[in-house]
Amino acid sequence: MAAPDKPSKLVKGASGDWEVVIGMEVHAQVASHAKLFSGASTEFGGAPNAHVSLVDAAMPGMLPVINAECVRQAVRTGLGLNAKINFKSVFDRKNYFYPDLPQGYQISQYKSPVVGEGEVAVDMPHGETIKIGIERLHLEQDAGKLLHDRHPSMSYVDLNRSGVALMEIVSKPDLRSSDEAKAYMSKLRTIMRYLGTCDGDMEKGSLRADVNVSVRRPGAPLGTRCEIKNVNSIRFVGQAVDYEVRRQIKILEDGGKIEQETRLFDSDKGETRAMRNKEEAHDYRYFPDPDLLPLEFDAAYVEYLKSGLPELPDEKKVRFTRDFGLSAYDADVLVSERALADYFEAVAKGRDAKAAANWVINELTGRLNKEGKDFAASPVSTAQLGAVLDLIGEGVISGKIAKDVFEIVWNEGGDPRAIVEARGLKQVTDVGAIEKMVDDIIAKNPDKVEQAKANEKLLGWFVGQVMKASGGKANPQTVNELLKKKLKA
Amino acid sequence: MSVDAHTVRQIAHLARIAVADDEVERLQGEINAVLAFVEQLQEVNVDGVEPMTSVTPMKLKQRGDVVTDGGIADDIVKNAPATEDNFFLVPKVVE
């Protein structure tokens, strides 16, 4: 099979092509009840400073004690990224002064992260699979939140997020376009949601990215990069990269130089801007945190976690295409969310898998999206959708009537089989009854009959008329056969 | 290795410690004395010696993922110079 056309990843400038190089640091909030080093809650949206312990507020003499669950989740994520797990890692202090950081330092991992190099496979829409290298994953504390709009001269500080565990996942500079950056971030999100290590809820800030962008002539050494901080949605990652690439190309083509700097993305204006204070290059003065011993575990622990991992999207996709005969595209859509894949499997079990995939992807997902619901809240259960498919398979209802039944089940609930029975939606398979309808239509349209003899395409018009006359209940195959026979005569 | 007056001011600024001009020279001397001591230590051959992280043979203590703390916002902000609705208030910082 010929490979599908691969769209060029190069960006056209006024003076020729440019290659884009992107590396990402994704900050994912660890799914845990308590914070990384204290017993305060990680719950979103508490009253100001309600989820804060004396440790999180950095009161003198308080000592951090690590939450074992956060370590477990970081290791599981590392395994999901096919990465090397380090049996010994070290927590360091990253020192900087800002009101959202009461300790004056963030506890992070610098030289010895808990997870080392790995690799993620990302499927692109045009059929290509790209491999993105993972540089490392480390555990660190989140900072507090500042509100600037409540007072003309004061900022409000809420430390509820302060100390919540984050996994920083650093990629290698392997991404070559905004589409790849978006697809990579969404793949990370999918993997972590399968693992249950991060809920991936962007609206609550559970997943944010720092995006490093540079451009170069194809084959040339790396250009100077700019880091766009704290981009909080996959869509914004795409917009920020596209804007930044254009900006850098323009500067270079006008004979300028890229300044290495930190920028922010303004989602209202769709642009990136230099952050102030850039003249003060950050000097974090990292050193090992004397309050914490190295984090150590053994191979048995990692093996134990590995044996408990769920089937991940890549494996599931292979299984769906192999065992169910699904197309790569359908399999991709279905494995994008674990709940969706589970739903599909329940419906497909013992049934026509391709039909199940069609119904789950087109009818159900379409309907759920329209109403902004997710699979957990689907009004149509797997058993109900399965029953609709059974009714089609048995020839009791046509595909068209099945959509009506689906609609009734969606709105009113109930057993599809009983609904079909009670509302007289059964397909008419009685050849005599259908023949009568066919004869009726033929008798009423002598001119069309003449045309149909010359032009076979008019057959479709007759099928439509008969189906309409039967209220959609006539078996379409029988109608077709009868018409073919009679119009030829 | 030694530090100059500029570096002393820079370190003080990063830590947000006010250092008056007439203090810089004294601090510079003290820091350089510490650095000179470290230089002496660096003469010791430590090839193959694991960095010591604790003087007692202890493992990192871990705790379970249970919410045992919080709900003390009044206490958290009690010592703050300015508060409102249990927020800390600080001079405006917008980057």
How close does chain B come to A33, measured CA to CA in Å? 6
Which chain B residue's Cα is nearest to A32?
B65
Banded pLDDT at A469 (limits 50, 70, 90): confident
Among candidate residues A210, A205, A109, the one with its CA nearest the CA of residue A160:
A205
pLDDT tens by residue, A50-71: 999 999 999 999 999 999 999 9
Spell out the long-range contacts of B48-55 with Cβ–Cβ below 8 A and sequence spacing 24 or more: B53/A90, B53/A288, B53/A293, B53/A294, B54/A293
pLDDT tens by residue, A208-234: 999 999 999 998 999 999 999 999 999
State the average pLDDT over residues B29-58.
90
> In this complex, do B62 and A65 lie within 8 Å of one another by their Cβ atoms?
yes
The yes-or-no verdict on residue A6 having pLDDT over 70 is no
Banded pLDDT at B62 (limits 50, 70, 90): very high
Q: Does B90 touch chain A (CB under 8 A)?
A: yes
Q: Which residues of A touch B63 (CB under 8 A)?
A: 39, 65-68
Distances in whole angstroms, Cα of residue A344 to Cα of each of A121, A196, A357, A383, A391: 23, 20, 7, 11, 18
Per-residue model confidence (pLDDT) at position A483: 84
Per-residue model confidence (pLDDT) at position A46: 94
> In this complex, do B73 and A47 lie within 8 Å of one another by their Cβ atoms?
yes
Per-residue model confidence (pLDDT) at position B54: 77
pLDDT tens by residue, A472-487: 778 878 888 888 888 7
For chain A, list the domains and their CATH numbers.
10-305 (no CATH), 431-487 (1.10.10.410)
Q: Is A483 exposed, middle or buried (0-12, 13-18, 19+ CB in 10 A)?
A: buried
State the average pLDDT over residues A21-33.
98
18-57 in chain B: CB under 8 A from chain A: 53-54
The yes-or-no verdict on residue A241 having pLDDT over 70 is yes
pLDDT tens by residue, A330-385: 999 999 999 999 999 999 999 999 999 999 999 999 889 888 888 778 899 999 99
Which chain A residue's Cα is nearest to B83?
A156
Q: Which residues of B touch A147 (CB under 8 A)?
A: 87
State the number of CA atoms in the 13 A half-sphere of A397 facing the CB. Answer: 25
> In this complex, do A67 and B73 lie within 8 Å of one another by their Cβ atoms?
no
Tell me which of A73-82, A92-101, A268-277, A449-458 is least confident: A449-458
Which chain A residue's Cα is nearest to B57?
A293
Q: For residue B94, which phi and psi values (nearest 5 degrees)?
A: -130, 130
Per-residue model confidence (pLDDT) at position A377: 83
Q: Does B78 touch chain A (CB under 8 A)?
A: no
Q: Which residues of B touch A65 (CB under 8 A)?
A: 61-63
HEC profile of B2-36? CCCHHHHHHHHHHCCCCCCHHHHHHHHHHHHHHHH
> In this complex, do A57 and B76 lie within 8 Å of one another by their Cβ atoms?
yes
Per-residue model confidence (pLDDT) at position A332: 92
State the average pLDDT over residues B16-22.
92
Compare CB distances from A99 to B73, B77, B90 and report the shortest one's residue: B90
- The ipTM estimated for the assembled molecules is 0.89
> In this complex, do B89 and A151 lie within 8 Å of one another by their Cβ atoms?
yes
Q: Which residues of A touch B86 (CB under 8 A)?
A: 47-50
pTM > 0.80? yes
Compare CB distances from A48 to B54, B59, B86 and report the shortest one's residue: B86
State the average pLDDT over residues A194-220.
95
Banded pLDDT at A3 (limits 50, 70, 90): very low
Size of interface A-B (CB pairs under 8 A): 137
Per-residue model confidence (pLDDT) at position A279: 44
Residues 6+ apart with CB under 8 A from A373: none
CA–CA separation, B3 and A122 (whole Å): 49
> In this complex, do A66 and B63 lie within 8 Å of one another by their Cβ atoms?
yes
CA–CA separation, A75 and A308 (whole Å): 12
CA–CA separation, A390 and A320 (whole Å): 21
How close does chain B come to A346, measured CA to CA in Å? 33
Mutation target vs A (from B6, B13, B92; most A CBs, 10 A cutoff): B92
Per-residue model confidence (pLDDT) at position A276: 63
CA–CA separation, B83 and B74 (whole Å): 10
How close does chain B come to A212, measured CA to CA in Å? 19
Per-residue model confidence (pLDDT) at position A489: 60
Per-residue model confidence (pLDDT) at position A477: 80
State the average pLDDT over residues A229-253.
96
> In this complex, do B90 and A157 lie within 8 Å of one another by their Cβ atoms?
yes
Compare CB distances from A68 to B65, B84, B93 and report the shortest one's residue: B65
Compare CB distances from B86 to A49, A90, A104 and report the shortest one's residue: A49
